[in-house]
Structure 1
């Protein structure tokens, strides 16, 4: 499986931090080298240090020759001393001819007839007594290099430590952020969903924190929705139980009167039967509304089948059906239709249920003396249906559970629309907005 190189921001940051750390380590190394060499150069510019070291080396070699009774041709033992000293080059001359040179390999040392050395130094030769003869030697000393090597090693260690420290700073920042996220997740696990997740940076860890935070918000919204639904259902059940209990109590009372023949006349009997029938229909109406409510609220939105309709024709049909019924009940209308052609996608059965609920409320609560206003128009890719009526103040107080309007709101939301229901003094209006198909 192929994997992209440097496919994440975190990897890129890691590579950049390595490069930055390496560059800083190189700068520190070069700076320390420059400072160290400057100090050593200043110190070694004083001849007494090198002369003292050289005199000590000459004395050491003379003592080595004397103690070991070396002969002028004991090149191997002389070489051992040179290797032990490390920072010297030794040249031995006999009668102005080079006998030994520590710079060249043993195979090239002048055994047999020595050749005259055209580069024989003058004025820097020292007498040396071997067991078999006297000779002169010339010694080159490089003892100061040892200190340069030490300074270079020290500078390298410091630069490497700086590289590690800079890398650890970057890694520590990320591990600290991971620890923060871990602690905040424990807070969320404890049930404190209001705690905000810390979002820092723009890499994958920040994206992870953002995702956790969004998940936290979604979970809160889901809990709020569930709580609201629970409260709404509780209120509904409470209201419905009250609304059902009243006609049921009356119905049971009428049936008991009929069952035990507590009526006085046949006219009373017919009245009790009529009242029982009215209460039975009232119970049926309430149970139908309750069934409609739970059918809408417990149906998955994905199961809603939408069909495309000509908007003007559909609204004229839906409003026309309601007007026909309400005109028979003595209501008047003011219709302001839309002249713009548009298309709309709806579930016809659900939308008809919305109009049935709205105009059913108008039948119950509207004042017949004031015309019902119906208007629909196009604005911002939405078709808006506005329905207004005056409330009949002569009606007796009616306790309503609001099931019909809740059902309408849910249906419109499932169509990606909005519904607004308001009451201003004695005016009641409903405004529905649905998206039109482009």
Structure 2
């Protein structure tokens, strides 16, 4: 979403600026258009030939009116009716050297003697016939007035249309953007959460578009989170279900030994019972963890791992594993030195890791070949390696892949590594634990 510090322009301000700009452009157009047109009108009506044509036109109309009305020099006031209908025309009439009529005001013979009307060039007068003789008429008119008015009306209409067009173009841009947002929303409704909503401008509509993008990202993240939780939950159920199989197999084996009385000496009976209890407790822990995970699957995973003495932390588990493999008919050769030091482990994970490895060895190892187990020590880690020859069993590889994946995952969560080397003849798995040297004597951890 856009930064809040970025200045936003309100739609109200945008509309005001649009109207102001359209009005200013229209006003400039109006003034410029009128100036140009009036210049052309003035230039046209300053032509003497044009003025002469207008004068002759109106003189002819005055002559026709006088003839029709039978007007004489004594009743020139009757011309006022014609003048009222032609207010853009001004005339003066004189008889000889005496002015007898002016369209600006009424005058009689006595009044005419008191007025000193200006004289005009001889070519400015036109003769007309009254009922009682010939008189001279001076005429002039605002012949460009109609052209001015037509130009004014046209300029007003054109300016208004320009204002309307500019305003509509500005509004149309926003309408097109709203239509674009509508199309973007339809695409999002179709499920395409990768689509980016167009953000244009800095107003309320652009804020809405940015909000849609933010909502889309949030919704997408929520979907991905739900999918991740679901996938993780399924993987966890698969892992624990897989890990339950090995201790269950061990319990069945020990139960069969006890049932058939193959445990040898009496003290071995208690030994097998203890192993069964331990495996059953391990199965219970796994099932409890599965239940807890299903209830709290959204919580962050935490394992209570820590440094424990190497001998007490690993010895019993490795020994039990080797004994279990031997009881299953495999020959196990150990080369374990158990040096002094502390190893970083989580007991439940260690049990599950060794159960997975023993399960894979039983399924895929050649029973006629040795199973080798040895340890190696470095500055900050120790390694326990299991190696066996691959047999020709046709067991499904799905279980194998799940087991190895579980081992790698649990080793990584304990800060270690799991390295697997396999070809058609040999299988080797190395468990690398975090390790630190210690000078204390060996302690019994269990």
Per the normalisation by structure 2, the TM-score is 0.63
Q: What is the aligned partner in structure 2 of residue 114 from structure 1? A: 111
Q: Residue 328 and residue 270 in structure 1: after superposition, are their counterparts in 2 closer, same or farther (change >3 A)? A: closer
Whole-angstrom CA distance in 1 between matches of 2:347 and 2:255: 34
Q: What is the aligned partner in structure 2 of residue 179 from structure 1? A: 179
Q: Name which one, 1 or 2, has greater alpha-carbon Rg.
A: 2
Residues 57-66 or 28-37, more deviating: 28-37
Q: Secondary structure at the match of 1:38?
A: helix
Q: Residue 363 and residue 230 in structure 1: after superposition, are their counterparts in 2 closer, same or farther (change >3 A)? A: closer
Matched pairs, number: 355
Whole-angstrom CA distance in 1 between matches of 2:345 and 2:74: 126
Whole-angstrom CA distance in 1 between matches of 2:293 and 2:239: 14
Deviations 1:335-388 (A, max 9, x none): xxxxxxxxxxxxxxxxxxxxx975865798799763784xxxxxxxxxxxxxxx
Confirm or deny that 1:274 pairs with 2:281: no
- Determine if contact 1:75/1:100 at 8 Å carries over to the other structure: yes
Equivalent positions of 1:34-113 (< 5 A) are: 34-70=35-71, 78-93=79-94, 100-103=101-104, 109-110=106-107, 113=110
Whole-angstrom CA distance in 2 between matches of 1:279 and 1:142: 121
Q: What is the aligned partner in structure 1 of residue 384 from structure 2? A: 392
Q: Secondary structure at the match of 1:391?
A: strand
Unaligned runs of 5+ in 1: 1-5, 302-318, 335-355, 374-388, 409-419, 431-438
Whole-angstrom CA distance in 2 between matches of 1:406 and 1:12: 63
Q: Secondary structure at the match of 2:111?
A: coil
Give the C-alpha shift of residue 252 in structure 1.
Answer: 6.3
- Determine if contact 1:293/1:403 at 8 Å carries over to the other structure: no
Give the C-alpha shift of residue 297 in structure 1.
Answer: 3.4
Confirm or deny that 1:332 pairs with 2:341: yes
Confirm or deny that 1:423 pairs with 2:423: no
Whole-angstrom CA distance in 1 between matches of 2:100 and 2:416: 120
Whole-angstrom CA distance in 2 between matches of 1:76 and 1:251: 141
Equivalent positions of 1:189-338 (< 5 A) are: 189-248=189-248, 251=251, 263=261, 267=266, 270=270, 273-294=273-294, 296-299=296-299, 322-323=306-307, 328-329=312-313, 332-333=341-342
- Determine if contact 2:197/2:209 at 8 Å carries over to the other structure: yes
Whole-angstrom CA distance in 1 between matches of 2:18 and 2:384: 77
Higher relative contact order (CA 8 A, sep 6+): 2
Unaligned runs of 5+ in 2: 1-6, 314-338, 355-373, 389-399, 420-430, 436-446
Give the C-alpha shift of residue 89 in structure 1.
Answer: 1.8
Q: Residue 298 and residue 195 in structure 1: after superposition, are their counterparts in 2 closer, same or farther (change >3 A)? A: closer
Whole-angstrom CA distance in 2 between matches of 1:78 and 1:421: 120
Q: Secondary structure at the match of 2:385?
A: coil
Give the C-alpha shift of residue 23 in structure 1.
Answer: 2.9
Q: What is the aligned partner in structure 2 of residue 139 from structure 1? A: 139
- Determine if contact 2:411/2:418 at 8 Å carries over to the other structure: no
Whole-angstrom CA distance in 2 between matches of 1:269 and 1:175: 87
- What's the Cα RMSD here? 4.5
Give the C-alpha shift of residue 269 in structure 1.
Answer: 5.8
Deviations 1:308-352 (A, max 9, x none): xxxxxxxxxxx9x94466675475159xxxxxxxxxxxxxxxxxx
